[in-house]
Structures are given as C-alpha cells and as structure tokens.
Amino acid sequence: MSGPRQAIVGARLLDPASGLDAVGALLIEDGRIADFGPRLFADGVPSGIEVHDAAGLALAPGLIDMHAFLGEPGREHKETLVTAGEAAAAGGVTTIVATPNTDPVIDDVALVEFVQRRADETCPVRVRQMAALTRGLKGQEMTEIGLLRAAGAIAFTDGDRAVAEARLMRRVLAYASAFDATLVQVPEEPSLARDGVMNEGEMSMRLGLSGIPAMAETIMVERDLRLVELTGGRLHFSHVSTAAAVAALGAARARGLRVSAGAAPHSFALNETAIGEYRTYCKVNPPLRAEADRLALVAGIADGTIDVISSGHRPQDQESKRLPFAQASFGIIGLQTMLPLALELHHNGSVPLLRLLACMTSRPAELLGLDAGRLLVGRPADLVLIDLDRPWIISEREFRSKTKNSPFDGRPVQGRVIRTLVGGQIAYDRKRDG
C-alpha cells in the first residue's frame, strides 16, 4: 500500500518495544514509517506533506491479534474476511492471525495460499494464516509443516482442540524445531474437560451444569512443558485461564524453556459469576474461572509471564447461542473489544501502559516473526490512534462482526480507537465511519 507523504503531528508516540513514550511526530512515505520522534518537524512540516494533527492522542503500532476465527472458508454465515477485517480495524487491530478450524480445514498448501490470496483481495487489514498441526484436526497425523510454512503458514495449531496424544506432540515439537516453527496448543486435557460447559466449582454445582476442572488445564500445561524440555521445541499456549497454569509457566521460564502464553480479555475482565442465570454469551472455552484465577492472569500479564493478549474471537450465530446453556456453542466475538477491555488494566493501575500494549503489538510480532508491532523506520505504517481517556459504552449496534455474540454489550469502558491505518491508508476513522 502507498499514498501521499503524511505527517502525524502532536501525537503521544507509544512504542512498547523501545520504551518510547513522548510527544512528537511521525512521517509516512510509500506506506511505511519514514521517520518519527519528539524532534521531528520541530521547525514545522515542509510543504508537500499532508498534515494530520493528533491533538495529543496516543499513536501506537497497530494491534496484532494472535488468535481469531474468521469463518472463511465454509462458515461464512458466522464471519467473513470482510466483516472480521472491518471489526478488527474498528478495534485498532491491523494484523489478524487466523485459526485453521474452517471447513475445509487449513491443512494443505493450496488452502493456505487460497485464504491468503482471498484475504489480500477483500480484507481491510492484514491476515496471516495458521495451519493445522494435524491432518483434519483429528490429532492423529502430523501435517507437512515444512511445506505449509514455505507456503506462508505463520504457526501451527489444531484451533480449539488440544493435541491429546503425548507421543504425537513430542514428535511434532521435535520436527517443528527444524523449521523454527511456532506451535500453538490449547491447554486443556480433553478427557477431563469432556462434556463440561463451565468452570467446575460451587457455581457449576448450584446451576446444575457439568464443570471443566482447572486441573484439565494444569495437566496439559505441565505435560507439554515437559515435552518442550525433552525436545527443545517452541510452544505457545493459546489462552490460559488458571492460576496454576500461570505458576507453571513462570517456573518453566525460570528453567529457560521456549514457551509463551496468551490470555483473552474476557478471561481477565470477567469471572464465572458473569454467567448469572445461564447467560450463554458467557459460555467460552477455556471457561470463565474463579476470581482468584482472574487475578492471577492480571498479575501474569503485569510481570510478563503471560506474553500476549489475543481476542479469542469466536463468532457464533444466534441459533448456536439461543439454546439451553449446556447445548449452546462456545465462543464470543472479541476483535472490536480487545483494546478497551485490556485498557481497563491500565486505568485501574494493574498493568503499566507500555507493558499492556506490548502484549498486543511487539510481543506477538516477536513470537511470530512479523514485520509489524513497533514504531521503526522502514516498517509498514500499520498504526492506531487512540484516545486513551475517552469514556464510552460498548454497544452491540456498533459491532462490525457478522454475529453479535458478546457479553460486553452495555459495559462502560475508557479508551477508544479514533483511527486505524494499514500501510498508511485509513482502514477505520471514527469521525468518518461513525
């Protein structure tokens, strides 16, 4: 993408990778960052450059959502690349990393290339594709990781399923190391979680619902940490939700293991009490946990044990959610609400602002080897302009996703995306798009 030379002046420049937090300006040429800093244009902007006054708003690298389901191909009734891209842009997300659990499953080279081509043609933000870790997501046979990586697959995962077979997981970790490929695992032991619909505990007993024990997550995390230690592989846990998992990850880091983890905003913005009287919009996997687990996630984000905040975007149509709680589908949308929910941790003093933004910019870029996620001369001008202090109320009416399955409708938040740029081009503008 390219366009006229543009100067964004009077912005609070935020770059988590370098620790920059200063008022200054940024220059865009040919869709890339040409220069930036506190002293840039101190004597005025030269003629011939289009000037945008940020008026003190925060200017940060565009967000990277490391785990989102986008519907295409095969489930376009839930989401499309267009609607997901529009939601992402409105949420300040300039790069979406898509899961492979589509129909058909993204487990061969032709499908990786097809989705990438389709995304480049239709999606207003960048899309990078994860490929299946096992054929058909069946957990039985490893995919052609080397070929898929060469075709553009950025990481490998079985989507919302864990690879349960330990011997296979060991082989995959060892094999993927030869390609320096990142594997993404769902931290849940399937047999323990089977038939569970919410967190196991006093509340599940009171509601008469089958529970998913916290131990299902802990056992899978502990097992895979041992396999990483055995193989020297690299593993990312998509979304952790328990205090025990956070503690295990901290200990693994201390031993020098190449492991990382993400958390979804709903896991640290809500706890199991949000289910109330069987609110299916709060049915997610991993489930909303106890308050002690929620607080452990917040602490893990603050101290770096949790590397990434990703939306866990999982659109479901009304027919999938307007059912008794036990029969309703798991999942909520999250592309558009990830940033304001995360900013709650900044505003309440739990997590420093740059550390919080790093979880959605520089850190996922580092883990995936992306040319994004930081303010750096020569990088694509994928940027987000944020009014950090603006209060507003999340409204279903503003959701750009094809489905509206969010538990946050009506929630007051602080911090709003004003403009999103992808390659220097406006993908979302609050004033223009309303």
pLDDT (tens, 9 = 90+) of the chain, 434 residues, equals 456 899 999 999 999 999 999 999 999 999 999 999 999 999 999 999 999 999 999 999 999 999 999 999 999 999 999 999 999 999 999 999 999 999 999 999 999 999 999 999 999 999 999 999 999 999 999 999 999 999 999 999 999 999 999 999 999 999 999 998 999 999 999 999 999 999 999 999 999 999 999 999 999 999 999 999 999 999 999 999 999 999 999 999 999 999 999 999 999 999 999 999 999 999 999 999 999 999 999 999 999 999 999 999 999 999 999 999 999 999 999 999 999 999 999 999 999 999 999 999 999 999 999 999 999 999 999 999 999 999 999 999 999 999 999 999 999 999 999 999 999 999 999 987 65
d(CA 108, CA 141): 13
Domain ranges of the chain: 6-59+380-433, 62-368
Task: Please tell me the CATH superfamily of domain 62-368, with its number.
Answer: Metal-dependent hydrolases (3.20.20.140)
pLDDT in tens, 79-98: 999 999 999 999 999 999 99
How many other C-beta atoms can be found within 10 angstroms of the C-beta atom of residue 217? Answer: 29
d(CA 149, CA 142): 13
Task: Please tell me the CATH superfamily of domain 6-59+380-433, with its number.
Answer: Urease, subunit C, domain 1 (2.30.40.10)
* 8 Å CB contact between 249 and 300: yes
Q: Helices marked H in 3-126 — which ranges?
A: 81-90, 109-122
Parallel, antiparallel, or unpaired for β 6-15 and 50-53? Answer: parallel
Residue 52 neighbours by CB under 8 Å, 6+ apart: 6, 7, 8, 9
Q: Which residue's structure tokens are 């870029």?
A: 365
How many other C-beta atoms can be found within 10 angstroms of the C-beta atom of residue 27? Answer: 22
**From start to end of 266-401, where are the E strands?**
308-309, 383-393
* 8 Å CB contact between 104 and 69: no
pTM: 0.97
CA-based R_g, the chain, Å: 21
Query: ω before 38 within 30° of 0 (cis)?
Result: no
pLDDT in tens, 387-423: 999 999 999 999 999 999 999 999 999 999 999 999 9
d(CA 162, CA 130): 15
Mean pLDDT estimate for the chain:
96
Q: Per the structure block, which two tokens stand in for 419?
A: 């403009």
pLDDT at position 1, please? 44
Burial of 378 (0-12, 13-18, 19+ CB in 10 A): exposed
Q: Which of 147, 133, 65, 120 is nearest to 98 (CA)?
A: 65
d(CA 419, CA 404): 22
